[in-house]
Structures are given as structure tokens and as C-alpha cells.
Amino acid sequence: MLPTNQMVNIYRKNLEQMYDCLVTVLTEEETVDEATGITSINRTVEEGPYPCRVSFKSSTTSQADGLPKFAQNTTLFMSPDVIVAKGARMHIVGRQREFYAKSSSMPNVYDSHQEIQLENLEVR
């Protein structure tokens, strides 16, 4: 029988072979002017690109006036080694698509991967 750590590494390697997109994490850096106490955003820090996989799921949320309303849930799968803060913007490229999204929750981090719920911002 394989040790747990070795099994997780094998599973992680197989999972990462399915990553077919690249994500760049964009975080804004704030600084406080000591003289005035004013906080300003100086620059955006780019990290990546990192391999990832995007999953889309549509569901019916309600029916108003006989017409169904749909919601799309977008989940990003990537390495658990990358730290992604809640609210971080992301530039995702792959599968003949390019779009910007925002992390809408804290990532669910597992030994083999992490899952991040996204809010779509802009599709190109």
C-alpha cells in the first residue's frame, strides 16, 4: 500500500495534466502616505501565468412570469501552492477564450488542488 503523501502526489500530477488554461492573478497594492494619512492604490501586481482549469455550470435560479432565469457558476481549479486572496482579479486565457474574473470567495484548498469560485467581469 502506498503512503498517503505519495498517493496525493500521484493524484495531483494526474489532475494537473488536465489543466488547459493559464491564469494571471492581479492584486492591487495599497500604500498610505504618512504625511496625509491618505491611502492610495499605486500599482497592480501580476503573478503568473499559472496552469489552471475552468469549469462552468449553469443552473435555473427561479421562474418569473413563466420565463426561467439562469445563473452561471464558474470555478477555477489550480495548484494549491498559489495564494489567491478573496477579491483578487484574474486574467484567464484558454480554450479559444479570454476573460477577466474576480475571486468571489476564499479558495477551497485541498492537498491536490484548490477551487476558487469566480465572478465573471469581462469576456473577450
Cell 497592480 sits at which residue?
Answer: 44
Per-residue pLDDT reduced to its tens digit, 18-77: 999 999 998 877 778 888 888 877 767 788 899 999 998 887 766 667 777 777 789 999
At residue 41, the pLDDT reads 74
Nearest to 74 by CA among 29, 21, 110, 31: 21
The amino acid sitting at 73 is N
Cβ proximity of 8 and 111 under 8 Å: yes
Q: How far apart are CA 28 and CA 42, in angstroms?
A: 8
At residue 56, the pLDDT reads 87
pTM of the predicted model as reported, rounded to 2 decimal places: 0.77
At residue 1, the pLDDT reads 58
Average pLDDT, the chain: 86
